A and B are shown apart, each in its own frame.
Chain A
C-alpha cells in the first residue's frame, strides 16, 4: 500500500505509550500554568479582555486533547472497546498523531522565532548588497541550465552543462550565505543553548516528533482499518496549508469581526461597544427645510453632517449622515465601478472579436494589450500622474492639438484645459481611465478565450440560415459568450470595489481630493491615520458584504449554467 515515508524501525508499544502518558501530563501542567498566566496578564497586546479570555481558554484545549488521548490509551491497553463518546483505539491514534504533529510544528515555529532566523532575510540582502557580483554567478548558472535544455547539443555535453549549472548556482548560494554572516549566525544559534527556553523547545520538538512517528507506525496495534490507512497522508500533505490558513486567515478573520464591535485604537484596551461602529458608519438622517435662508446644517440633529441637499420649490430636502465621508467614499467607489465596467469591458469585447478573426499578427496585438496588466499599479499611476499634468502632460497637449485642428477647420471649440488631478469634477474620471487602461487587456484575453470556445458549427448553421455578421454576433456570439461576460463583469466589479493603489499613486497631495477617496482608501485613513482599528474593521465588513454579495451572484450564476 502507498506510504508517504519509508518504513522506519518501530518500538514496542510498551515503551512509547508510557512516554506518551508522561508527556501528556507535562503538557497539561505547562498549558494550565500558561492559561493562568494569560488570565492574569494586565495587558494582552492591546487586544482587550475578551481576546485575552479567549486565548486563555484556547491554551486549555491541549489539556483536553491530552486527557482524551491518555484516557483512550488506557482504555485501549485494558482491551476495552468503549461505547458512546469515549475514545476508541483508532480515534485515539488519530488524535495523538495530529496533536503531536501540530505541537511539533508550533514548537519549531517558536524556536525559529527565538533564534531570530527570520532576521536572516535582512542579513541575506545585506550580504548580497555587499557582494553584488554574486548576481553574475546566478546569471551564469541560469545560462548554463538554459543551454543544457537545448536539444541540438550532444547528450554528454548537456549532462556536463547541467552539473556545471548546479555547481555554479549552489556554489554562489553558499558564498552568498557565507557573505551574509551565516556562519556567525549559526554559532550564535549554538550559543543560545545556554537559555532554558531554547533547550526546552528543542526537547519538546524531539519528543513530539518521536511520539507522532510512533503512533503513525503502529496502525495495526490500534486496529486501523485498511481503508483508513492513507487518510493521515492527506492531512499531512495539507498541514502547511491548514496551519497557515488558521494563523493568517481564519484567526484574523475572527479578530476582524470582533474588532468591528469595539472601539479599538492605539495604546488603549478596546471596549466592547456593540453595533456602535456600524451605527456611526451607516446612520442617515432625512429632513426638510422650508426656510431656504437657513444653512442646511441647521435642519439636522446634533452629530450629523450634510451629505446632500435638493431644492424643490420652497422646500429643501436635506440628507445628513453621521459619517458623510463614508457615504461619499462609497458613492465614489460605486460610481468608479459603474464607469469602469463600460470602459474596461466593452472595448475588450470589441477588440477580442476583431482578434478572433484570425488576422495575421493577432498574437502581437494580444500581447501588447495585455502588457499594462503586468505592471505595478503604483508605477503606472506615477506615469499617468505626469501624463495628466496640465502643463507638460501629453494628454492635455493632445487635446489642445485636436482642438486647434478643429478650430482651423472653422469650428469654434474651446480648449477645455482639463485639470485632471485637481478639478473635483474630474478626479474620479482620471482614476477610471487609468484603471480601464490597465484592465482592458486582461479582459480582452478572457473574452478571446471565451470566443475560441464557441463551436464553429454554430456560425456555419447561422450562415446557412442567412444571418449576416451583425446578426451572428447578436444571436450566436453574445449568448454563447455570456458565462465569460459574466465572469469578466464580476472580476472587473470586484477589482473596482477594492481600488486603492490608483488614487494613492495618482494624487501627490495629502489628503487626496474628496471625490477621489475610495472606500478602501477611506478604510486605510481610518485605520492607519486615525488609528481607529475598530471603526476601520466595521468599514471592512460593510465592504465585504457588498463584495461577497456580488461574488456570490457569480457562483450562483455559474452553477445554474452548469446544470443547463
Chain B
C-alpha cells in the first residue's frame, strides 16, 4: 500500500538533528510572511476616464467616446432637442423621433420606415438603445462605424430621402434653428469655444452625443444577472437556458451583454464586425436576396456577402415588432419558428426560393426542434429583456413637450 523508504548512508551527526528544527523555524517565518488578504487591482491606463455621467451599472463597460467628439452633458441635451425637432428636416415635417419613438423602444412599429417626403425606406427602423456599443451602425454597411458618420445618412441621404436636407434647403433649416430661443443657449453651452456654433457639424456631433448616451441596463434580465433571482419568472429562466444553450444556438449571434455579436466598448482591443445571412431568401436557388436589400453585398459586391445583415440587439425586442431587416415577421413566435426551420421557404412569387438552402447562410442557422412550451419559455425570456424604465426615462424624452 505504501511506499517503503530506507534511508541510506551513515546516520547523521547529532548536530544535524538541529537542522530540521531550524528549518521548521524558517518555514514558520515564511508562513507568517504570507499575511494579508487576497486582492485584485487594476490599472486601466486611463481608458475609463470620462467627463460624462453615463448612468451605467458597475457591470457595464463604458462605451467608446470618439476623440473628435467627447461626451458632455451639454451636447447630450442639445442633441436631445434636435432629435425631437421636426424643423430639422427639409420640409419641416419629420424629426428623428418620428421613426424612433420612445414608447416602443425608439422604433416606429412599421415594417419599413417612411421618410419626410413619403418615400419608403427599404429597411425596418432599428431600436435606439445601447447604440454606443455597436461595432457597426446600420443593418448592412460595415464601413459605418461611428455615429458621426452614420447620422449624415438620415439627414442628407437621397436614396431614400429621410430627413430630406439638401443643398437647396440646408441654410433655411439652419435659420429655423437660429430663430429658436432655446438653441441660442444650447448651442453655445455645447460648443462654448465657437463664435457661431449653429452649423451642421455641431448638429451631427450633438445628435451623436444624444444617441450615444441612450443606454439601457435595467431590464428584468439585468436585475437577474445582478443577483435578483426573483427578477425572472420560472418560464423566463427556462427560456434563458434555451437561449444560451447549444441546441438553439441563439447566443452565438445575439450573445454578450448587448445581445449582439457586433459589440464594441472600451475594454476591447480587437473589434469584430460580423454580419449574417439567416436564410430569409434564396431567390431561384441562387442565394440572392431582393434588389435594393441585399445587405453587405450592396457595399462590397462580394457574392459571399449576399444577404448578410448585422445581428441587432435583442434588448426591448418585445416592443420592436415587426422583425428582420425588412420587417417581414410580425411576432416573436414567427421569428422562433423561422429559426427552428433553419430558414424561410418562399414557395411562389418573385422572391420564390428556399432560404433554408441559401448557399451563403450562416452556419449557426441550422434549425432545431422546439415545443410549444419551449417557444413560450423563449418568448418569456425575450420579454424579460424589456427595460420599462428606459421607456419612461425623462432623460430621453421629448424636451419640447415641457416649456
| A and B held together in a complex | no
Q: Which A residues contact B (CB, under 8 angstroms)?
A: none
Q: Which B residues contact A (CB, under 8 angstroms)?
A: none
